[in-house]
Structure 1
Amino acid sequence: MNKHPSRLLRRPLAVALLVALVAPGAAFAQTAREKALEARVAELERQVQLLVSGQQTQQTQISETQTQITEVKTATAATAAAPADGKPKIQTAPILPAGNPGSVFTYGGFIKLDAMVTDTSDGRIADGSSGRMFYVPSTIPVGGPAADGGDPYTDFHAQFSRFWLSADHVTEGGDKLKGFVEMDFFGGGSNALAGNEIATNTYAVTLRQAYVSWNKWLAGQTWSNFQDTAALPDAVDFVGVTDGTVFVRQAQVRYTSGPWSVALENPNTTMQAYAPNAAAAGARTTTGDNNVPDLTARYNMKGDWGHFSVAGLLRQFKSGDNTDSGGAVSVSGKFNLGDSDDIRYMGNYGSGIGRYMAFGLGSDVMQDASGDIEAMNGWGGFVAWRHVFNPKLRGNLMYSAAAFDNDVALVGWGVTERSQSYHANLIYSPLPKLDIGAEIGWGQRSLEDDREGDLKRVQTHVKYSF
């Protein structure tokens, strides 16, 4: 069947119009989708860029912080190695590597030069004797009317220079620990040339104190609990008031609670040998036979007025199978008389007090013909007045004495009955911790037969404490 030509023409035209209308829409839809995708991609790229940028910033900050930490450490190390004065520090590691962490280490002492001229009436004190270094009453020669001390003699020495070390620690629980050791150079030499005045004047280090304390307990060597070191006067001599002073350092175990302290201390007995009515004293011996420690107890009172202390001592004496016992009491203190003056004092009395007083001027016990021993009574004391003229100058006046009740029927007439001494000094401190002192002293030792020997001494010292 033939179709009309107009229909045939309209059909292609309709198709063309349809294509013309649909094609732009499809193209438009494709373009919108692509744009949306492009927009999303662009947003993702932006967010990634922000993340990368943030990470780079963070990394930069970390690097800068690390650099700053390194700089601080370097500066700290430099400061430690080079303090303000520009000198390098000796200490670059823990000073107590084997000690408790956090322990505090301290060090101190003094350098002391002593120079003295001595004049004795009844013979010379032997060179090298302790009596040539400081006042020791038992070394004063007593030789009777015919004795001659000769010309005065001079001694210089630095043996009493001293140093100490201390390590203190407080635990997390509040417990207090302390280790302390103190030494000087008075005690002899360590080789053939040591301890003499020929060439080197070399002297050995000697132990003074060595103890550990924890809270209220102390164990080791230190001053006897029977001794009040706080009452000692300000002397140029090592002690000054030696005659009437309790003076002992020894091993012990001590407990302190408030003003009270008790201790068990190393026992020892000094014995005067049996020598009935002899003109010369019999030998004095020291025994290590004791099996009961010395018991000491002390009570202290302190205030703005000064301090007061009273102490007691109980002892066993033993020589072989022979024993005796004794006891003593000591009262001491310091009384302030205003800002510039004070009085210091000590009084001691007891049975068998000999070893504890005046560096053993008297014996603890006497021996009879059968070998039995008997404790000997003794007493002693001192008084000292200290006056401060100004912040740099001070002075002291001192008197000291001791006596012993010897039975001459047992020990003879040649033993020491008593001693006494006077001392006066001036001490000048031109710079902090530096003392320059001068002291004059007179001492006397008397025997039971009334023979006496005198000592006169002028002593100076230069002392720097640190």
Structure 2
Amino acid sequence: MTTRKLITKTLVATAVCAATASAQAATIGNTDVSYGGYVKLDAMWSDFSAGTISGDSIGRDFYVPSTTPVGNDADSDAVFDMHARQSRFNFGTSTKLDNGKTVKTNIELDFIASIGGNERVTNSYSPRIRQAYITYDGWLFGQAWSNFQNVGALPETLDFVGPAEGTVFARQAQARYSVGNWAFSVENPESTITVNGARVETDDASMPDFTARYNFSADWGQVVVTGLARQLTYKQGGADEDETSFGVSVSGKVNLGKNNIKFMLTQGKGLGRYIGLNVAHGAVYDGSSLDAIDSTSGFIGYQHHWSEQFRSTFLYSFFEADNNTDLLAFSGNPTKSSVSYSANLLYSPVKKMTFGVEFKHAEREAENGADGDLDRLQFSAKYAF
């Protein structure tokens, strides 16, 4: 395989979500223009053991581990939600330049986790940028999936993320260079610090986040190894503290005929927002210094094709934090662990149309031993264009 083909393969695998549909294309001059996306309806019945979360919580739109309430069992009625906010649209161009090289652009929008809108009358939610980037001669510039994440390892689920507590998950501005099986990037820094039990988001790092990635592909599947190094900072209220954060993630896919196994295992210090949709913060500020939080997370999913039209994914996902119990006076009652199990049945009468049902059971435990769980039954209908 040539270097150019390997670069193309790396960019496609890391910058384009596996769920995005094949784009429609047209040619204008020397530029190929493409568009694609999908429309999706989600309907969810959710039962929380320790009290129902509010209707405007993001945890009602899709599974977010940190939003699962913990505490004494509460008599709470199950809640039903329905939305089409995951629907998305992408637009891209590919232009052949005079020097013989190609420059590509991609912009992708959806409506989930965006501001605005209500459920009283029109449900008019604002669009948000998912990705917006340029690729040229092995380089990527713009907002895309973090080089630390392997999007190709995400299992097929009805839930927006799926193995939420067990996966690296981040999109952000970056500059990335890919050569052969390797890719390196500098990415936008951001720290989430626990201060007096509350999360504080800081944006005063003096350097970007650094990542490195190695992709290995064979007929049997793929293995991806990624590394992250960054600076955690807290410079508020007279404090001027920083701490080093680092992590390693191994993920991939194993082909079993038409079926497959997808997996990820991540370990690090101060990973914070990169893991589990920020189920744990990067570090705790004890009044004089930062103490980075160690964590281990991962998932394994098995997809089985029952026939040409029916398939299922069985998924296990986990997160564990090694909180410093000597700092609980400063950290409050942080998440100690989170775990979820899910299974679905998907039916595609035609290639681009999918109907499905999925059941998810999730549990979260706080450092003081308080716990809570979620049972969710989800129905979805999706058409990709």
Q: TM-score, normalised by structure 1?
A: 0.74
Find the aligned partners of 1:188 and 1:245 in 2 and give their Cα distance.
Answer: 22
Give the CA deviation at 1:362. 0.4
Deviation sequence 1:85-128 (CA, Å, 0-9, x none): xxxxxxxxx986xxxx4100000000000001000000111112
Asked if residue 411 in structure 1 is aligned to residue 328 in structure 2, the reply is yes
Match of 2:50 among 88, 101, 122: 122
State the one-letter code of the partner of 2:31. Answer: S
In structure 1, what is the equivalent of residue 134 of structure 2?
212
State the one-letter code of the partner of 1:151. Answer: D
Find the aligned partners of 1:270 and 1:327 in 2 and give their Cα distance.
Answer: 15
Find the aligned partners of 1:388 and 1:229 in 2 and give their Cα distance.
Answer: 21
1:367–1:411 CA contact under 8 A, matched in 2: no
Q: For 2:164, what is the secondary structure of its paired residue?
A: coil
Asked if residue 368 in structure 1 is aligned to residue 309 in structure 2, the reply is no
Deviation sequence 1:344-389 (CA, Å, 0-9, x none): 000000011111001000010111132x112111110000000011
Give the CA deviation at 1:433. 0.2
Q: For 1:243, what is the secondary structure of its paired residue?
A: helix
State the one-letter code of the partner of 1:128. Answer: D
In structure 2, what is the equivalent of residue 293 of structure 1?
208
In structure 2, what is the equivalent of residue 182 of structure 1?
108
Asked if residue 465 in structure 1 is aligned to residue 384 in structure 2, the reply is yes
In structure 2, what is the equivalent of residue 386 of structure 1?
303
Give the CA deviation at 1:304. 1.4
Give the CA deviation at 1:139. 0.4
**Bigger fraction of residues in strand:** 2
Q: For 2:59, what is the secondary structure of its paired residue?
A: helix
Give the CA deviation at 1:337. 1.3
Asked if residue 169 in structure 1 is aligned to residue 95 in structure 2, the reply is yes
Give the CA deviation at 1:432. 2.2
Deviation sequence 1:206-258 (CA, Å, 0-9, x none): 11000111110011000000000000001011111111100000000000001
What pairs with 1:429-440 in structure 2 (closer than 5 Å)? 429-440=348-359
Q: Which residues of structure 1 form unaligned runs of 5+?
A: 1-93, 275-281
State the one-letter code of the partner of 1:404. Answer: A
Asked if residue 132 in structure 1 is aligned to residue 35 in structure 2, the reply is no
Asked if residue 243 in structure 1 is aligned to residue 165 in structure 2, the reply is yes
Find the aligned partners of 1:223 and 1:249 in 2 and give their Cα distance.
Answer: 4
Find the aligned partners of 1:383 and 1:328 in 2 and give their Cα distance.
Answer: 19
**Bigger fraction of residues in helix:** 1
2:52–2:77 CA contact under 8 A, matched in 1: no
In structure 2, what is the equivalent of residue 87 of structure 1?
none
Match of 1:230 among 147, 152, 156: 152
In structure 2, what is the equivalent of residue 355 of structure 1?
273
Find the aligned partners of 2:316 and 2:113 in 1 and give their Cα distance.
Answer: 28
State the one-letter code of the partner of 1:384. Answer: G
1:187–1:205 CA contact under 8 A, matched in 2: no
Find the aligned partners of 1:207 and 1:463 in 2 and give their Cα distance.
Answer: 21
Find the aligned partners of 1:354 and 1:322 in 2 and give their Cα distance.
Answer: 17
Asked if residue 253 in structure 1 is aligned to residue 179 in structure 2, the reply is no
Give the CA deviation at 1:291. 1.2
Q: Which residues of structure 2 form unaligned runs of 5+?
A: 1-25
Find the aligned partners of 1:253 and 1:327 in 2 and give their Cα distance.
Answer: 19
In structure 1, what is the equivalent of residue 224 of structure 2?
309
Find the aligned partners of 2:345 and 2:112 in 1 and give their Cα distance.
Answer: 25
In structure 2, what is the equivalent of residue 84 of structure 1?
none
State the one-letter code of the partner of 2:267. Answer: Y
Find the aligned partners of 1:130 and 1:369 in 2 and give their Cα distance.
Answer: 31
In structure 2, what is the equivalent of residue 272 of structure 1?
194
1:244–1:400 CA contact under 8 A, matched in 2: yes
Q: For 2:112, what is the secondary structure of its paired residue?
A: coil
Asked if residue 148 in structure 1 is aligned to residue 70 in structure 2, the reply is no
2:58–2:113 CA contact under 8 A, matched in 1: no
Match of 1:329 among 235, 244, 248: 248
In structure 1, what is the equivalent of residue 319 of structure 2?
402
1:273–1:411 CA contact under 8 A, matched in 2: no
Which protein is bigger by CA-based radius of gyration? 1
Give the CA deviation at 1:149. 4.8
State the one-letter code of the partner of 2:107. Answer: V
Number of residue pairs matched by the alignment: 354
In structure 2, what is the equivalent of residue 102 of structure 1?
30
Find the aligned partners of 1:110 and 1:149 in 2 and give their Cα distance.
Answer: 38
In structure 1, what is the equivalent of residue 262 of structure 2?
344
* Coordinate RMSD, CA, aligned: 1.3
Q: 1:287 to 1:178 in 2, by over 3 A?
A: same
Give the CA deviation at 1:297. 0.5
Find the aligned partners of 2:30 and 2:313 in 1 and give their Cα distance.
Answer: 43
Match of 1:450 among 344, 369, 374: 369
Q: 1:396 to 1:405 in 2, by over 3 A?
A: same
Find the aligned partners of 1:166 and 1:149 in 2 and give their Cα distance.
Answer: 50
Find the aligned partners of 2:274 and 2:61 in 1 and give their Cα distance.
Answer: 20
State the one-letter code of the partner of 1:297. Answer: A
Asked if residue 283 in structure 1 is aligned to residue 202 in structure 2, the reply is no
Q: TM-score, normalised by structure 2?
A: 0.90
Find the aligned partners of 1:336 and 1:188 in 2 and give their Cα distance.
Answer: 36
1:120–1:149 CA contact under 8 A, matched in 2: no
State the one-letter code of the partner of 2:248. Answer: V
State the one-letter code of the partner of 1:369. Answer: G
Q: 1:453 to 1:465 in 2, by over 3 A?
A: same
Give the CA deviation at 1:411. 3.2
Find the aligned partners of 1:427 and 1:188 in 2 and give their Cα distance.
Answer: 27
